[in-house]
Amino acid sequence: MHYLTKIASPETLTTQCLILGVFDGKQHGSSIDRLPATPKKHIQATLKKGDLGGKAAQSLLLYGVPGLKAERVLLMDLGEQKSFDAKKLASAMGGAIALLNKNAVRDCALMVPEESADMLYAAGRDIAISSEEQLYLFDQCKSKKNRPKKPLGKLTLVVKERKQLNTLKKALKHGTAIAAGMNLAKDLANLPGNICTPSYLADTAKRLGRKSTKLKATALTEKQMQRLGMGALLSVSRGSREPAKLIVLEYRGGKENSRPVVLVGKGLTFDAGGISIKPSAGMDEMKYDMCGGASVFGTLQACVDLDLPINVIGIVPSSENLPDGEANKPGDIVTSMAGLTIEILNTDAEGRLILCDALTYAERFRPAAVIDIATLTGACVVALGHHTTGLLGNDDKLADELLKAGDDIHDPAWRLPMNDDYRKQLESNFADMANIGGKGAGTITAACFLGEFTKKYKWAHLDIAGTAWKGGHEKGATGRPVPLLTQLLLKRCKLAE
């Protein structure tokens, strides 16, 4: 969708639909107050009937409102004025956009409520993100596309003062880049495992690399990984006919000598569990086990779109995890690139096996910080559900930075503890460590495993097992945590306001 900004009074706007925010379902709010007497009276009389707000309708679509050039008016309930914020405005707008997109409305205009004047950046950004979320459609694999005949293609944000235009333009640019990154992540994740293979991801990375001279994409082959000694990663892909890839995206937008932020994303394109096979119910959802990698792609694409002045490296170890005569067996011992030996007590704890070698590989980029993103543990879904990402790591400042970025952009994370007591759960009688930590604290012991490979730099781990996709009738990828990661980078560039 196209986003425009404008200064105008509501009665002069020629649009197919003028969107006005209303507080408490009643007649007030700046958008109503700014109307000339004739349309104002009409709208107030309509609102008096009480159909809008509270448990009633979230929006009302009016036709033929006198004294306006707009063909329609959408009255959008913004809830209580005292608890109003950018998130509420954006989610109400999401609802409005979804409704108008279904109708024959191609262009609309929002009178940005003056109540959002002191949060205009967040409001503009969040409106773009939530509008794009509503317009997102994944029908690549359907032979009959069921798209709206007259899709919504234009939203104009109308403000009062000239100086607000610049803030809003910047906010919309950031919001649309983040949304496009989320859409890329969603598309990759929603694709099935037979299409989105490690090679498909590697090709996608190369396609991204062609978008900008600042972005370079490469993919290591199994042979190259072998030479590097990536015995843990390769042990997972040995049970699959699809060759593993170690995908590397290098975005150089910052000073040549400035240390990069390295993002490492789990790119397991299908996780059947291997010999420790998963139950069959719901196993299709394990095509989403590459959502960490997809979020790295999405974030790097946003870096390109925003031309961020920072260096960012994306590393995506990618493989399948299947049962096979050559697959890992419980009790097998493999040697990681770092030299640590690992006893594989459960072949379904494969994410950490591919990540540990990628995390060792990350050392060569002299990282300012390394953040890994992975659908790592079912235990994280038990602990935090589908709302909050699990955060662990070895650096308090980096962890706080991530928490703050997540809160800013409504993509929240919550930190869990890590210490020696948990690490000891990984002790093995036969190797340097086991790949599982036994009963209790599955998310923490998984992070402790990764922590053995991240001692040389500042590191944080995001467990997105609960937040990367939704199940049930809403089944689909969420694009998280692209917002969180992009916000962190924007803030490092001092651009997020």
Q: Which residues are annotated as a binding site for Mn(2+)?
A: 266, 271, 289, 348, 350
* One character per residue 323-352, x = contact with Zn ion (rule: CB under 5 A): ----------------------------x-
Residues 6+ apart with CB under 8 A from 204: 188, 297
As beta bridge partners, residue 52 has 57
Q: Exposed, middle or buried by CB within 10 Å (0-12, 13-18, 19+), for 422?
A: buried
Q: Specify the residue, 44 or 346, whose C-beta has the smaller distance to ligand BES.
A: 346
Query: Looking at beta carbons only, is 193 or 483 nearer to Mn ion?
Result: 193
Q: What does 425 bind: ligand BES, Mn ion, Zn ion, none (CB cut-off 5 to 8 Å by kind)?
A: none
In angstroms, the Cα distances linking 236 to 31, 230, 404 are 58, 11, 35
Q: Which residues bind ligand BES (CB under 6 A)?
A: 271, 289, 346, 348-351, 375-379, 381, 436, 442, 465
Cα 240 to Cα 197, 235, 328, distances in angstroms: 11, 10, 10
Query: Residue 377 binds which one of Mn ion, Zn ion, ligand BES, none, with CB within 5 to 8 A depending on kind?
Result: ligand BES
Residue nearest to Zn ion (CB): 271
| Segment lying near Mn ion (by CB under 5 A), choices 38-46, 102-110, 268-276, 385-393 | 268-276
- In the complex, which residue's CB is closest to ligand BES? 378
Nearer to ligand BES, 66 or 385 (CB): 385
In whole angstroms, give the CA distance from residue 324 to residue 248.
28
Nearby residues of 379 by Cβ (< 8 Å), 6 or more positions away: 441, 442, 443, 446
Question: How open is the CA angle 202-204-209, to the nearest 5 degrees?
Answer: 95
Task: Give the range of 45-53, 143-151, 288-296, 358-366 binding Zn ion by CB under 5 A.
Answer: 288-296
CB of 296 to ligand BES, least distance (A): 16
Only segment of 55-63, 147-155, 213-221, 265-273 that touches Mn ion (CB under 5 A): 265-273
Q: Which does 327 bind (CB under 5 to 8 A by kind): Mn ion, ligand BES, Zn ion, none?
A: none
What minimum distance in Å lies between the beta carbon of 286 and Zn ion? 7
- Cβ closest to ligand BES, residue 350 vs residue 372: 350
Judged by CB under 5 A, which stretch of 112-120, 285-293, 323-331, 444-452 contacts Zn ion?
285-293
Smallest Cα–Cα separation from 489: which of 210, 301, 208? 301
Q: What is the CA angle 95-296-402, rounded to 5? A: 75
Confirm or reject binding of residue 320 to Zn ion (CB under 5 A).
no
14: three-class secondary structure by DSSP: coil
Report the interhelical angle of 396-408 vs 482-492 (nearest 10°): 110
Binding residues: 266, 271, 289, 348, 350
Are 7 and 165 contacting, i.e. CB atoms less than 8 angstroms apart?
yes
Whole-number minimum distance, CB 347 to Zn ion, in Å? 10
d(CA 261, CA 10) in angstroms, rounded, equals 45
Q: Of 166-174, 211-219, 264-272, 312-320, which segment contacts Mn ion by CB under 5 A?
A: 264-272
Q: Which residues are catalytic?
A: 278, 352
The listed partner (ligand BES, Mn ion, Zn ion, none) that binds 378, CB under 5 to 8 Å by sort, is: ligand BES
Among 107, 115, 133, 348, binds Mn ion (CB under 5 A): 348
CB of 269 to Zn ion, least distance (A): 10
440 contact partners, CB below 8 Å, separation of at least 6: 425
Which alpha helices (H) appear in 49-119, and where do they start and end? Answer: 86-102
8 Å CB contact between 292 and 341: no
- Tell me the residue number closest to Mn ion, measured at CB: 348
Looking at the Cβ atoms of 393 and 442, the one nearer to ligand BES is 442
Q: Judged by CB under 5 A, does residue 408 bind Zn ion?
A: no
CB of 374 to ligand BES, least distance (A): 8
DSSP string, 308-322: -SSEEEEEEEEEEE-
**Identified binder of Zn ion from the candidate list 115, 187, 289, 343, rule CB under 5 A:** 289
Q: For Zn ion, give the closer residue by CB, 253 or 273.
A: 273
Pick 271 or 357: Cβ nearer ligand BES: 271
Please give the Cα distance from 181 to 267 (Å, whole number).
16
Closest distance of CB 225 from Mn ion, Å: 20
**Could you tell me the smallest distance in angstroms from the CB atom of residue 469 to ligand BES?**
8
Q: How many residues does the chain have?
A: 497
What gap in Å lies between CA 125 and CA 178, rounded to an integer?
A: 9
Q: Which amino acid is residue 292, in one-letter code?
A: G
Interacting span for Mn ion (CB under 5 A) from 10-18, 29-37, 343-351, 374-382: 343-351
Instruction: Work out the angle at residue 407's Cα, subtended by the Cα atoms of residues 403 and 411, and round it to the nearest 5 degrees.
Output: 95
- Crossing angle, helix 291-306 and helix 482-492, to 10 degrees? 40
- 305: contact with Mn ion by CB under 5 A: no
Query: In the complex with ligand BES, which residue's Cβ is closer, 381 or 403?
Result: 381
Q: Which residues bind Mn ion (CB under 5 A)?
A: 271, 348, 350
Q: Which residues bind Zn ion (CB under 5 A)?
A: 268, 271, 289, 351
